[in-house]
Amino acid sequence: MAEPSYFLVLLLFFCSLFLKSQSFDFVYNGFNGSDLVLDGYARIKDKALKLTDRSQNVIGHAFFPKPIPMFKNSSLDVSTFSTHFVFQIVPSDANRGGYGFAFILSPSTQLFGAQGGHYLGVLNPSNDGKSSNHLFIVEFDTVTGYNETSDRYGNHIGINVNGMNSIASESASYYKGTQKKEDVDLEEKEPIQAWIDYDGLAKQVNVTVSPLSVSKPIKPLISIFIDLSPVMKDYMYAGFSAATGEKKASSHYILGWSLKLNGFSDPLDVSQFSPIPAEQSSSSQNKLKRALIVTFSVVLFILLLALLSIFVYRKVMKFDVLEDWELDCPHRFRYKDLHVATRGFKESEIIGVGGFGTVYKGVLRATGAEVAVKKIISNDTLKGTREFAAEIESLGRLRHKHLVNLQGWCKNKSNLLLVYDYVPNGSLHSLLYSSKKGTVLSWEQRFNIIKGIASGLLYLHEEWEKVVIHRDVKSSNVLIDRNMNARLGDFGLARLYDHGQNSHTTNVVGTIGYIAPELTRTGKASKSTDVFAYGILLLEVACGRTPVVYQPDRNVILVDRILDCLQMSNIFDAVDPKLNSTYTIEEMELVLGLGLLCSHRKPEARPTMRQVIRYLNRDEILPVFDNLNSFGSKRADQIRSRFKALGLTDDSIITTSSIHSSSVGEMSSSSFEITGR
């Protein structure tokens, strides 16, 4: 009688042994990284299992290392199992968290070809939904969109088999009691717990979530009947998968996890859970670091770019760095163009060197026009002021056939470049004193030149909108064009040159021999001082001699010589011998007389340019010397009386040698700073 009971006890014992061998459970109250199978981003951090961080498009997997025997021996039914875990999702910012994580039972710890985003790192478009996957998935998805009809909620939990399409899904929430539902925000910055329970006999899956502070709700969120036996293989690995996506990324943490076959999972010891790592701060530090690095490199890059472009700009434009106001100057040339035109200011292109600077011949590439470029090395007074530019601009508007027209200008560092018409035959000075044969200017040409200069000067003095004082009338400033017409150059330049200087340091600008006596005293140039210089020029043209001939013993003043001739013998003795006496007596007489009158010591005695032209055209008879020839040998007192007739009462002027030479005497004294040739 006792034996059967003995056998029963033995059977029960073996049965219990057998059942014990079927038991399978584990509890992680925090992770220490020793045993889980990790893959992708997944790692253990501060006792938490971190599946992904907040980088875009990352995947993380973590599996319990031992496979779970899903079927009881000889049973066709999947064993009852339950699992309980605590998770936390930390989105990258308020709106952009994603995509989520999933609890999975998988035949392998390797999920080949798994994609992120909506596939949560579990599947990919080609294997999604295939029964050969043998996957049981409970997704905790924070993004709407894989299947708009079934996965309706961004913040939802779904039960899937073999694919990402949920068999059942619910917005994350829990029941208080049996009716009242409380929402659970999966991305809430506090831990959430979840339970997944499968009843192998009833073939029922229950999924429940609640905040960590709330104990397991009685009513599960999702409860469906499903037979997992076709899904499960004999041995399955339990684990988690998480993924982030494009723009949407969260850190996914599992803080604790337990699983049990054939029974409810052991309750987790919440007190052992460490708070999740200081994600916010560390990540924001990283973010800050990254932002700083990015900002720094961007700034550096922009700075380099700016430097480079300035460098290139300077290189290309040479020194054409303009001040704003220079842009409204129509006569302004670009330095680059002038540089090209004069072949880099080559020495071989020099056509003249004068007091103000060097003159280069140039050909403007744009128009092919020949120009003369005068390069003036300035002193400080040339510093680019608006007024200065205005002055040149205004000179640029002067146009007359007997002027060398100023086409434009350019300011470059301390250089001023003036661009003039190119006049081919050189200066009157060079033609008068040329030693070359056959280049002697005929009287006809000379008389024409004299008239031309007068016409140009009249234009400057009276015919333009403003009075322009030339200040440096002389033979080397008269250029002769193709038709042997005179063209007066360098007008107004002297004024530019001493522009802005204080009156007490005035430079007398002009050329020795052409400077009116009062100019050396007052320093004030006027129309009358121009007329004086013109008078000297007339005498120079008639006599073919420079105003002052420098000789070792005694400098010969041209005017003195003429007056000597006048007194001693015949004024025509002073005439340029190169003319070979081929000239019109009346014209010569007129020119000599007018020359003397214009270069009169007294400014009041000098005619205006308009009068000069009337005399030259014989519209008016020169009053004093109407019959000069007839008293060529007469005495000085006769001349004196003639001058008196003009109303010039100062007796001293009649002393012939002092009429003009006194001025020269003053000029050569060093009491005045004389600028120029």
527-543 and 609-616 helices, crossing angle to 10°: 30
- Structure tokens, 250: 């969260």
* Cβ nearer to ligand NAG, comparing 155 with 208: 208
Residue 425 φ/ψ, nearest 5 degrees: -90, 15
- The C-alpha atoms of residue 432 and residue 409 are separated, in whole angstroms, by 30
Amino acid identity at 173: S
| Residue 642 to residues 525, 605, 606, 613, Cα–Cα distance (Å) | 28, 12, 15, 22
**Is 219 an interacting residue with respect to ligand NAG (CB under 6 A)?**
yes
Measured from the CB of residue 232, what is the shortest distance to ligand NAG in angstroms? 15
Residues between 542 and 581 that touch ligand NAG (CB under 6 A): none
Q: List binders of ligand NAG among 652-671 (CB under 6 A).
A: none
CA-to-CA separations, 597 to 154, 454, 539, 559, 615, in angstroms, rounded: 109, 14, 10, 11, 11
Contact predicate 421/371, CB 8 Å = yes
- What's the closest the beta carbon of residue 168 comes to ligand NAG, in angstroms? 10
User: What does 255-272 look like in DSSP terms, one character per residue?
Assistant: EEEEEEESSPPPPP-GGG
Q: Is 149 in the site for ligand NAG (CB under 6 A)?
A: yes
- Where in the sequence numbering do the catalytic residues fall? 472
Binder among 56, 124, 223, 506 for ligand NAG (CB under 6 A): 223
What is the size of the binding site for ligand NAG (CB under 6 A)?
A: 17
Candidates 27-35, 523-531, 609-617, 654-662 — which segment interacts with ligand NAG by CB under 6 A? Answer: 27-35
Q: Which of 391, 382, 379 is nearest to 331 (CA)?
A: 391
- Please report how close the Cβ of residue 284 comes to ligand NAG at its closest, in angstroms: 30
Can you tell me whether residue 132 is helix, strand or coil?
A: helix
What is d(CA 530, CA 474) in angstroms, rounded to the nearest whole number? 10
Question: CA 155, CA 176: separation in Å to the nearest integer?
Answer: 19
> What does the alpha-carbon distance between residue 624 and residue 593 come to, in Å, rounded to a whole number?
8
Query: What number of other Cβ atoms are within 10 A of residue 307's Cβ?
Result: 10
Question: Minimal distance in Å, beta carbon 295 to ligand NAG?
Answer: 42
Residue 307 has which token pair? 């430097």
Q: How far is the CB of 220 from ligand NAG (least distance, A)?
A: 5
In three-state secondary structure terms, 206 is strand
Near ligand NAG by CB under 6 A: residue from 204, 507, 657, 668: 204
**Contact call for residue 13 and ligand NAG (CB under 6 A):** no
Q: Which of 3, 5, 34, 552 binds ligand NAG (CB under 6 A)?
A: 34
When the beta carbons of 85 and 514 are compared against ligand NAG, the nearer one is 85
Among 197, 279, 498, 530, binds ligand NAG (CB under 6 A): 197
Piece of the chain touching ligand NAG by CB under 6 A; list 218-226, 327-335, 504-512, 601-609: 218-226
Q: What would the x/- binding string for ligand NAG be over residues 65 to 104, using CB under 6 A?
A: --------xx------------------------------
Strand partners for 359: 352, 374
User: 273-292 mask for ligand NAG (x: CB under 6 A)?
Assistant: --------------------
And the tokens for 653? Answer: 């002027």
Q: Candidates 37-45, 216-224, 385-393, 660-668 — which segment interacts with ligand NAG by CB under 6 A? A: 216-224
CA distance 29 to 267: 10
Stretch that binds ligand NAG, among 145-153, 268-276, 484-492, 521-529 (CB under 6 A): 145-153
Q: Which residue has the tokens 């200087």?
A: 501
**Single residue of 56, 144, 150, 657 touching ligand NAG by CB under 6 A:** 150
Applying CB under 6 A, does 18 fall inside the site for ligand NAG?
yes
199 binds ligand NAG (CB under 6 A): yes
Residue 84 beta carbon to ligand NAG: minimum distance, rounded to whole angstroms? 12
Which of 32, 132, 179, 503 binds ligand NAG (CB under 6 A)? It is: 32
Q: Is the peptide bond before 99 cis (omega within 30 degrees of 0)?
A: yes
For ligand NAG, the binding residue among 79, 206, 407, 528 (CB under 6 A) is: 206
CA distance 647 to 484: 38
Query: What's the angle, vertex CA 79, arms to CA 78 and CA 85, rounded to 5?
Result: 115
Chain length of the chain: 677
Residue 409 has a CB neighbour count (10 Å cut-off) of 25
Return d(Cα 265, Cα 259) in angstroms, integer.
5
Q: Is 220 in the site for ligand NAG (CB under 6 A)?
A: yes
- The residue range among 198-206, 412-420, 516-524, 630-638 that interacts with ligand NAG, by the rule CB under 6 A, is 198-206
Question: What's the rounded Cα separation, in Å, for the pair 256 and 193?
Answer: 9
Closest contact distance (angstroms) between CB of 199 and ligand NAG is 4
Nearer to ligand NAG, 162 or 656 (CB): 162
Site for ligand NAG in 151-180 (CB under 6 A): 165
203 has binding-site annotation: no
β-strands 508-509, 674-675 pairing = parallel
- Least Cβ distance, residue 230 to ligand NAG (angstroms): 18
Q: Binding to ligand NAG by residue 127, rule CB under 6 A?
A: no
Q: Which residues bind ligand NAG (CB under 6 A)?
A: 18, 28, 32, 34, 73-74, 147, 149-150, 165, 197, 199, 204, 206, 219-220, 223
Binding site feature residues? 375
Binding site feature residues for ATP? 375
